[in-house]
Structure 1
């Protein structure tokens, strides 16, 4: 990682922290976007190469969509943004992570989005950071490319941030908002032996069925972390017709959120060493330690094809999920949380299936340990809020739904 790019990842006052064993991530900052948008653009939807609507409004938000080999899903996502009820001026920036399925060629033809081509798969965090660096709006919106946004999504997810002037005056500071994500399709209870089942935190098993034949379920109402350091979606697999979730939540979901640029300038961007998964949990820790709050906005809604781009049972998912869970705990969590998480991971590696793969993950975590501890010390030096205060948001490992 080049020094100039590395500074973006540091909390205020933090020292650069070389990380042993990190995979290269410089490509996220090496992208050459096609120029920043002007402070105002003709039309309610500002675009990189054209406009679609009359009228002159300011561009208050940049919607960043990361693309990687999911052409039709990405185009569907962009169509849902084009159909927004435009009460907020916003631009759309697609960051492509080296797609080889024709996504880039199709995206080059779109006039409702600006395209940044990274050339190869740099990881989710690197791609998002490239989009953030290429924009200058006060609010950045993150939307998964395998999701569709309700017509009022951009307005509702950004409204609390655009209306909250306290952050500028040094008062109580809202750093991020996180929306309500519903899983696509319908579900019914699954058999205990069904390998395709999705499992809730409480152990309930669900399987997708033909539309209309089952119930609809939630994917997320924000991010939470357990007492063993496990980052997860709040309300994962809860019925979607239940009561609205509380507004106060530990962190944001990285595929359905809005971030205040002032907060990012304060605590840093996504951690590119994580490559994929747990980037939102890690940044949520830094926001909370920096005195920034996170709020769930139930009216900001998307529908998500869960793990459509990466595959939940793929080696990419399993390795990065397990590695980053421990690395983020080492960076931020109280030591008892680190101990429980490490003991749990070691037990699974020694006694569970897939022993060799799990042991290699633990070896990688150990190789990253010096960098993780340097990050921990840097965050501690810059923090406004003690770790134990933020740790009050930790939840039990099990669940109730």
Structure 2
């Protein structure tokens, strides 16, 4: 009896040494209860050499590198890395994470309990360099929550307008949640295929929100398991392009609303996102005396406005 099998999928885009550290952490996590089918690293046209000679980071382990000539986005690359797997479980793991002996074996022991037979997706405690637990589980977005987020009300009045991430909870206990973060997202492979994998229309961001929503709609549980942990730096590959990160996050927000809530909700969230949020963000940058932040805000929203004309027909068809 070898236990369940696992494929790890990591999408890389200019992650630098973070990717090598992630791959290098894998051997210490392979401690009983499961077998590793392989780790697949999908490189989205990195230009920093981060995807080179990865076999040296974990000698002897089955690591496969897939190189894309262009950046296909996170969702598409995840699907690419998962394709053809016969493993029982898929672990989508960001390159700015590191595993330990406390990352995988405890999670598979938890899943082996018959009472957890309906767990379809699982996340673990994500910790920073100092060992502090990150608030990484989230609520499924609603139009009202997204409008409040655009206006900054979730930060100013979190008691009245709960933020996306469950910051009021210390993540020290195991519980069912709406969403676990895609930095460490363990999913049943058969379920992943049954729900169609990641929706590739989300280039990046909201892809994990969407997948966890589909898992729950299919009748399975999404669980934050506090008995296992992994290191997560956070923002490791996107800190260098904050304006671009803002653009993709806002665009995916509108795509999510269009897909799940329809034209009227899209109009409300779109108005708040496009007209009110830039003013709120610029005011915040001014109060903090961060001209660099203001420049990134302008860059992100300028790109969103430029993208909008060709995006509108697709947004209006999202519910199909």
Which has the larger helix fraction?
A: 2
Q: What pairs with 1:92-103 in structure 2 (closer than 5 Å)?
A: 92-103=39-50
1:265 alignment partner, one of 189, 193, 196:
193
Unaligned 5+ segments in structure 1 are: 1-55, 168-172, 187-215, 378-401
- Structure 2 CA distance, aligned partners of 1:350 and 1:147? 31
- Structure 2 CA distance, aligned partners of 1:59 and 1:174? 14
1:298 aligned counterpart, secondary structure: strand
Alignment-derived partner of residue 79 in structure 2 = 129
Alignment-derived partner of residue 10 in structure 1 = none
Asked if 1:72 is matched to 2:17, the reply is yes
TM superposition score normalised by structure 1: 0.62
Asked if 1:361 is matched to 2:310, the reply is no
Structure-2 change in CA distance of 1:288 and 1:298 (3 Å)? same
Alignment-derived partner of residue 238 in structure 2 = 310
Alignment-derived partner of residue 327 in structure 1 = 255
Contact 1:221-1:298 at 8 Å conserved across structures:
no
Q: Deviations over 1:314-368 (max 9, x none)?
A: 1221100111111111112477754542232133267454567526425635643
- Structure 2 CA distance, aligned partners of 1:59 and 1:290? 22
Contact 1:349-1:359 at 8 Å conserved across structures:
no
TM superposition score normalised by structure 2: 0.76
- Structure 1 CA distance, aligned partners of 2:219 and 2:88? 18
- Bigger CA drift: 135-144 or 332-341? 332-341
Contact 1:228-1:337 at 8 Å conserved across structures:
no
Contact 1:219-1:233 at 8 Å conserved across structures:
no
Alignment-derived partner of residue 60 in structure 2 = 111
Asked if 1:348 is matched to 2:276, the reply is yes
- Structure 2 CA distance, aligned partners of 1:344 and 1:315? 19
- Structure 1 CA distance, aligned partners of 2:108 and 2:115? 13
Alignment-derived partner of residue 314 in structure 2 = 371
- Bigger CA drift: 63-72 or 332-341? 332-341
- Structure 2 CA distance, aligned partners of 1:119 and 1:108? 21
Contact 1:223-1:253 at 8 Å conserved across structures:
no
User: How much does 1:102 deviate?
Assistant: 2.5
- Structure 1 CA distance, aligned partners of 2:136 and 2:171? 14
- Bigger CA drift: 126-135 or 282-291? 282-291
- Structure 1 CA distance, aligned partners of 2:24 and 2:249? 30
- Structure 2 CA distance, aligned partners of 1:137 and 1:367? 39
Unaligned 5+ segments in structure 2 are: 150-161, 283-296
- Structure 1 CA distance, aligned partners of 2:194 and 2:257? 21
2:19 aligned counterpart, secondary structure: helix
Contact 1:326-1:365 at 8 Å conserved across structures:
no
- Structure 2 CA distance, aligned partners of 1:364 and 1:265? 31
User: How much does 1:126 deviate?
Assistant: 1.6
1:274 aligned counterpart, secondary structure: coil
2:7 alignment partner, one of 36, 57, 62:
62
Contact 1:61-1:139 at 8 Å conserved across structures:
yes
Alignment-derived partner of residue 34 in structure 2 = 88
Contact 1:327-1:369 at 8 Å conserved across structures:
no
- Structure 2 CA distance, aligned partners of 1:322 and 1:223? 17
Contact 2:123-2:180 at 8 Å conserved across structures:
yes
1:125 aligned counterpart, secondary structure: helix
